[in-house]
Amino acid sequence: MANLYAARRRKNSITMVLSLAATAFGLGWLVLILGVLLYEGFSGLSLAVFTEMTPPPGSTGGLLNAIMGSLVLTGLAVLIGTPIGILAGTYMAEYGRHDRLTSVVRFINDILLSAPSIVIGLFIYEVMVYPMGHFSGWAGSVALAVIVIPVVVRTTEDMLTLVPDSLREAAASIGLPRSLMITRIAYRAAKAGMVTGVLLAVARISGETAPLLFTALNNQFWSSNMNAPVASLPVVIFQFALSPYKDWQSLAWTGALIITLAVLALSITARALTTSRKQS
């Protein structure tokens, strides 16, 4: 009897130690990856990174055109994707909360949410790059917008569903039309959550490489022409990291550091927004 008990206790302790080890293992990777990234990235960080163009192999330079390209592509993608995402989420939470269209859209949206991003790149190549005959910044930002939409749809729907119905009823009782009730009352109540959704979407696309590879392509030079290939930070990192040149590789690390810091800052901000909303 005592023997059985001891055996059970032993088994329990073993699994508990294993679970502790697993957690340490998981956290260990985070520390390792961030550690190496900080070390390698900071050693290459200088003012030139933000003021000079990407260099030809064998010489020094910066990442200015890539950073600007990334900002423009991301900004446009958010501009295109957010309105569509918010409107679709609004329909699902406000108008058709229980109808069939909503459940189909929800299912499809969840699939799009985790669909391989390289397939999105192929899709945009087929519908934009191939008919237009050349790679372009527009195609790149549309590809990113396709990734933004599902994220925004999901959070908008979730956040609007959380808005208490009594608010809607109060608005209706003073004669407010439904569209105004949604835009003036429901949106305001769900604002923090919806902003979080957009931030998460930005975090998601700012590191996306695969859909840009054959839409926006890359550009060695400064380009404000969205109708031509545009450089972006992730694609430049991809190209530079796989090259044999030391200068390029060190720039790739610096670029990686910039992206990671931006993404982590965005996701921590998003997290802070949602928690403050929960507590209040």
User: How many separate helices (H) and strands (E) can be counted in the chain?
Assistant: 14, 0
Residue 73 as a binder of other proteins (CB under 8 A): the answer is no
**Alpha-carbon 116 to chain mean position:** 14
Cα–Cα distance between 194 and 92 in angstroms, integer?
14
- Range in contact with other proteins (rule: CB under 8 A) among 42-50, 62-70, 188-196, 257-265: 257-265
When binding is defined by CB under 8 A, the residue of 48, 84, 228, 273 that contacts other proteins is 84
Exactly one of 71, 102, 185, 226 binds other proteins (CB under 8 A); which one? 102
Q: What is the 8-class DSSP label of residue 54? A: P
Contacting residue, 163, 198, 237, 251, with other proteins by CB under 8 A: 237
Q: Rounded distance, CA 276 to CA 280, Å?
A: 6
Q: Which residue, 90, 112, 270, is CA-closest to 198?
A: 270
Residue selected from 44, 55, 61, 85 as contacting other proteins according to rule CB under 8 A = 85
Choose which of 8, 97, 184, 246 interacts with other proteins (CB under 8 A). 8
User: Which letter, b or e, does each residue of 41-66 get, where b requires 16 or more Cβ atoms within 10 Å of its Cβ?
Assistant: beebbeeebeeebbbeeeeebbbbbb
Question: How many residues bind other proteins, per CB under 8 A?
Answer: 90
Chain centroid offset of residue 146 CA: 11
Complex with other proteins: residue 76 or 80, whichever CB lies closer: 80
Q: Which of residues 23-62 bind other proteins (CB under 8 A)?
A: 23, 25-27, 29-30, 32-33, 36-37, 40
Count of C-beta atoms within a 10 Å radius of residue 39: 11
Q: Name the burial class of residue 165, with classes exposed (0-12), middle (13-18) and buried (19+) by CB atoms within 10 angstroms of its CB.
A: exposed
Is 273 a residue that touches other proteins (CB under 8 A)?
no
Select 76 or 92, whichever has its Cβ closest to other proteins: 92
Site for other proteins in 162-221 (CB under 8 A): 177-180, 182-183, 203, 206-210, 213-214, 217
Which residue in 49, 67, 80, 92 binds other proteins (CB under 8 A)? 92
Q: Does 246 bind other proteins (CB under 8 A)?
A: no
Q: Which of 64, 118, 189, 228 binds other proteins (CB under 8 A)?
A: 118
**C-alpha dihedral (88, 93, 96, 98), degrees to nearest 10:** 130
Residues 119-158 close enough to bind other proteins by CB under 8 A: 119-120, 122-123, 125-127, 146, 149-150, 153
**First-last CA distance in the chain:** 53
